[in-house]
Structure 1
Amino acid sequence: MNIFRTVRASALAASALVVMVGLSACTGAGGGDTGGVTTLTLATVNNPQMKDMEELKANFEKDNPDIKVNFIQMEENDLRNAVTKDVATQGGQYDIVTVGAYEVPLWQQNGWLTNLSTYADADSAYEVSDFFDPIRTAVSVDGDMYAIPFYGESSMLMYNKQILADAGLTVPANPTWQEIADLAKQVNTPEHAGICLRGKPGWGEGAASLTTVVNTFGGAWFDKDWTAQVDQPGFRDALTFYADTLAAAGKADPVSAGFTECLNLFSQGKAAFWYDATSAAGSLESPDLSTVVGNVGYVAAPVVETASSGWLWSWNLAVPNTSTKKDAAWKFINWATNKDYANLVGTELGWSRVPPGSRLSTYDIPEYKEAAAAFADITKESILGVDPAQPGVNPQPWVGIQYVTIPEWQDLGNQASQIFADVYAGRETVDGALAKVQILAQKAGDAQK
C-alpha cells in the first residue's frame, strides 16, 4: 500500500471537519504542564461508556496526582474527522485518542500510532491474554497492539417486550429481516416507531448499519477483484428493503437517527425495535439512563442468506506518535482498560454499565453476570460468532464486516451514506443512488488494483 496515498486519502476525508469543531478542540487541548503536573488531552467519542470514564477519572487523578486528564468529547463523525486530520498532519493536539478497529491497521502502516505492547507486555498483571481474541486481533499488527480495547461489540436486535406483548406478537430468537420488518410495521404507531435504524450520514453511522444488511442480503461493496458491486442485485435488494422499512415503520426523520438518537428513543419507550450495537444494552438496563429497564428483549442480528449478520467493532484507546507524554498516557490507558476498571464502574455507577466485550474476566464477575443476565451471553456469542474475513455470501479481499479496510473507505462511506440518506428522505431513488455510489466505489476499488 502506498503510504503517501494513504495519508492523502485520510487527510482529504478529514478536510470536511467543521471549523468550529477544530477550534473547540484546540481550546480544550490547550492545557500546558505546570507545577510538575502533566496534562493529557484525550479526544473521544461521546458514547455512554466514555462519559462514564470521564466521570470516574477523578479516581485516576487521585492516585496519580501528577497527571491530569482533559477530555474532549465529540460526536462520532466529528471525532473521526478531527483525529484523522490531526494524526495525518502530525498536529500533535492529542495525547490519547479513541479510535476504531478500522483505523488501527491503516494508521499503523503510516507510523501514526505508538506500539502499546511495549508497555502492556512489561506488566504481567495487565494480562493481555484476557482480551477477547477477535477484538485484540483487530487492533494488532504482527502481534503487537497499537491500541487497547476499551469496549467491544457486535450488533443485535433489541425489542420492547411490553409493546410486543400488548400486540400479541412474538419475536423469534433467530429472526430474518423480513420477519422483523413485518412485526415492526404491525406495531408502528404515532406513539412509538416500529423500529429505529441508523439513517444518519457517516460511514460509522448509517453506512455501517446498512452494510451488515447488504452482507446478509448477498450483496457486497466489492468482489474479490475489487470490482464495485453497488449496482448489483444483492446491494439493490438490501437498500430497497432498508429504505422501505424506514418509510413504513421507522422514526420520523430517519436521516437524523444515529446511535445516540436511537438509544435515546428506545430507552424512553418510543420504539418497538432497535437494531444496533450490543454495547447499548448496558445503558438500556441502567435505571439512571433508561425507562425500559427489565423490559427489553435481545436476539441475534436478523439474517437473510447468511448464518449470522452481526458486526465486529471496538472503541480503543491509542497514543499518537506525536505525543510527548507517552508514559503518562499509558498510565491512564492502563487504568481505564485493566481488569480492576470493571469493578470500579460496577460499584460506583452500576454493574450494567461496565464496558462490555473487551475482557473475558468481566463475564466471570458475579455482580456483572447478574446485572447483565439479559444480554451478556448474546453479546459474547455475537462477538465470537462473526466472520470478519467473509461476513457475506461471497469472498472479499479485505477483513472487516461493516466497513471496508482501505484508506479510501472513510471518504467513500461518508459520501455514500449521504446519498443513501437522500433515499430515506425521499429526495433520491434507489437506482439513482446506486448509480452514483457505484462510480465512487469503483474509483476506490481501482486504487487497490
Structure 2
Amino acid sequence: MMNKKWWSGVLTAAMVIGLLSGCGGAKENAAQGDSAQGGGKTNLRLYTYGTEEAYNWKKTIQAYEEATPGVTIELVQLSEKGDTQEAFKKLDLEAASSAQMDILMFSDPAGYAQRVALGMAEPLDDFIAKDGYSVETDYKVDTRLDGKVYALPGKFNPWYVLLNKDHLEEAGLPVPTDWTWDEYADYAKKLTQGEGASKRYGTYFHGPQGGGWLEFLKLMMANQPQDTDYLKADGSSNLDNPTFRQTLELRVRMEKEDQSSVPYTDMISQKLNYRTQFFNQSASMITIGSWMNTEIGGTDKVPLDFNVAVAPFPKNEAGDPTGLTPVTTDYVAVAAKSKHKEEAYKFVRWYTTEGQIVQGKNIPAWQQVKTEQVEEIIDTILSATKSPEKVDKKSLVDTLVASKASAIVPPAPYQAEVYEAVNEEYEKLILGNQDIDQTIANSQERVNKIIESNKK
C-alpha cells in the first residue's frame, strides 16, 4: 500500500507550489493553450522530458498533424538535457497550476505509478475497449496498475547481453540465441583468461552499488512473468522468492568459486564502469539495457576494436519462456485535466504504434512492428556509430524482437530504502562477512521493518 504520510506531503507541496505558480507563467500558458483552440483547430499540449535529438519530435509531430487535419501538437519540453528528475519536478509544478495539459510522458514505472496515484492520468480502458484491442496482446509492456490502463508504452528498451564475438570465436563458443543463467556462468568461465592486473574476466556485473543498480541482484527474479521485484504488487516482501536466493548463489559462485566475474571490491574501489569494462575488453560479456544500441558500434569517446554480438537475457530453466527481461519504456498518458481527452488518446495510440516507426529512434513496444521495420530502425541507429560493421546485426535484431517485459510491480514510495537495505546485506555477503542464509534472513527482517514503519 502507498504511504499515506508521503502522499499527503506530496499533495500539500503540490498545492503550495500551485498557489505560487498560479500567479505567473502557468496562467499565461493556460491562456495560450486556450486561444489555440480557435479557428476550428484543437491544440494538444504534450509534456515530455525527451529531447529533439533523442526523439525526433519535429518530424514525428509533423507526420501526425499532416495525417490529422484540425489537430496541432504543442511540445512542452521539461528538460533541455533530457534529465528525467528535473522533468518530473516541472511536470508536478504544471499539474498543480492551471496550465493546459493533454498528453504526459513518464520515464519509469515509479514516476508513472506515483502520478497515477495523484490523479494526474486518465484511465484509458474505455477508449481501448472501443478500439477493440488489449494492452497485453498489442504491446510488449503491460502498463496496468490495479487492473486499469493509464498509459500506453512508447519505446522498448529490454535488457540483453553484449558479447565480445572475437573472444567467443577464440573459445569456440557460438553466439547464444536462447540460454540459461547456468549456461551464462559456463560461458563466463570459459571466457576468463590470465591472472593478476591483466586478467580478462568472463563477465562484469555493474551493481548493486550505493542503493542503485539493484537489477544485478534480481537476475533470476527479473525474467519471470510476475513478482519481479523485492516487493510484491500488494506491498509485501518478495525476498522469500527462491529466485532471490538463486541470484545470490549465482553471484557468489561466479565471483568466488569460478572467479569469472570482476570482483565487487574492484568495482567499488576502482569506480569501474560497464562501458569501459566491455569496450576495453577487460570483460567478455556484460548484461545491460539496450539503451546501449546507440553505442555498441563504438563512439568517439569509446571506440570499438572488436566484433560485438548480442544475446537475450538468460532464463532460469531451459523450459522457461524465452525473452522475459527487465525493460525500460516511456509511459504515454492522457492528462486527467485535459479538455480534449478523445483527441489526446488518439495521438497517444498513434504515437505508440505507427508514430514510433516514424520517429525511428527506438524499437517500439508495439507488438505489430515487423522484423524488417526493427531492422530499418537498427540500421539508422547503428549508422550513427563509428564501426557499425563490427556489430552482429542479426543477433541484435533477433534478440530485440524476441524480448518482452514482465508485469509491472507498482513501486512503493519507500523503494529506495528497500534497495539500500538489500544492497547493504549483499555487501556483507560478498565481502565474506555473512553467508547466504544470514543475508536472506537479515534482508527479510530489514525490509519487513521498512514496510511496517511506512504503514503508519
Quote the residue 2:119 is aligned against. Answer: 111
Deviations 1:191-248 (A, max 9, x none): 7653232314588x53234223247899985799987463787634422432553574
Tell me if the contact between 1:199 and 1:424 (Cα under 8 Å) persists in the aligned partners: no
Structure showing greater Rg = 2
Q: TM-score, normalised by structure 1?
A: 0.63
Give the Å deviation of 1:149: 0.9
The residue correspondences of 1:237-256 to structure 2 (distance < 5 A) are 237-243=246-252, 245=254, 248=259, 249-250=261-262, 253-254=266-267
Aligned pair count? Answer: 396
Match of 2:219 among 212, 222, 225: 212
Quote the residue 2:427 is aligned against. Answer: 422
Give the Å deviation of 1:298: 1.6
Secondary structure of the residue that 2:106 maps to in structure 1?
strand
Match of 2:412 among 371, 387, 407: 407
Quote the residue 2:387 is aligned against. Answer: none
Match of 2:373 among 348, 352, 365: 365
Give the Å deviation of 1:99: 3.6
Match of 1:166 among 145, 167, 170: 170
Give the Å deviation of 1:162: 0.8
Structure 2 vs 1, CA of residues 333 and 199 (structure 1 numbering), >3 Å: closer, same or farther?
Answer: same
Unmatched segments (≥5 aa) in structure 1: 15-21, 45-49, 346-352, 389-398
CA RMSD of aligned residues (A): 5.5
The residue correspondences of 1:43-442 to structure 2 (distance < 5 A) are 44=49, 54=54, 56-60=56-60, 67-72=74-79, 73=81, 78=85, 83=88, 91=96, 96-101=104-109, 104=112, 107-108=115-116, 110-116=118-124, 133=138, 135=140, 137-139=142-144, 145-170=149-174, 172-185=176-189, 186-187=191-192, 190=198, 193-201=201-209, 206-214=213-221, 221=230, 228=237, 230=239, 235-243=244-252, 245=254, 248=259, 249-250=261-262, 253-254=266-267, 261-263=273-275, 265-266=277-278, 269-278=281-290, 280-281=292-293, 283-284=295-296, 291=304, 295-303=308-316, 307-308=320-321, 310-319=324-333, 321=335, 336-345=351-360, 353-365=361-373, 367-368=375-376, 371=379, 373-383=394-404, 388=406, 400=408, 404-405=409-410, 407=412, 410-420=415-425, 422-423=427-428, 426=431, 429=434, 433-442=439-448
Give the Å deviation of 1:150: 1.3
Distance in 2 (alpha carbons) for counterparts of 1:223 and 1:55: 33
Distance in 2 (alpha carbons) for counterparts of 1:219 and 1:67: 37
Tell me if the contact between 1:96 and 1:329 (Cα under 8 Å) persists in the aligned partners: no
Tell me if the contact between 1:157 and 1:273 (Cα under 8 Å) persists in the aligned partners: yes
Give the Å deviation of 1:160: 1.2
Deviations 1:3-61 (A, max 9, x none): xx4454568899xxxxxxx9xxx9xxx796497789968454xxxxx567645223356
Secondary structure of the residue that 2:311 maps to in structure 1?
strand
Distance in 1 (alpha carbons) for counterparts of 2:238 and 2:425: 15
Deviations 1:91-130 (A, max 9, x none): 56997332434665675455232335677889x7xx9779
Deviations 1:38-87 (A, max 9, x none): 9968454xxxxx567645223356677872432425667x57xx749975
Deviations 1:156-187 (A, max 9, x none): 33311112223444565443323423432442
Distance in 2 (alpha carbons) for counterparts of 1:268 and 1:325: 53
Secondary structure of the residue that 2:310 maps to in structure 1?
strand
Q: TM-score, normalised by structure 2?
A: 0.62
Quote the residue 2:383 is aligned against. Answer: none
Structure 2 vs 1, CA of residues 297 and 379 (structure 1 numbering), >3 Å: closer, same or farther?
Answer: closer
Quote the residue 1:19 is aligned against. Answer: none
Name the amino acid aligned to 2:181: W
Give the Å deviation of 1:342: 1.7
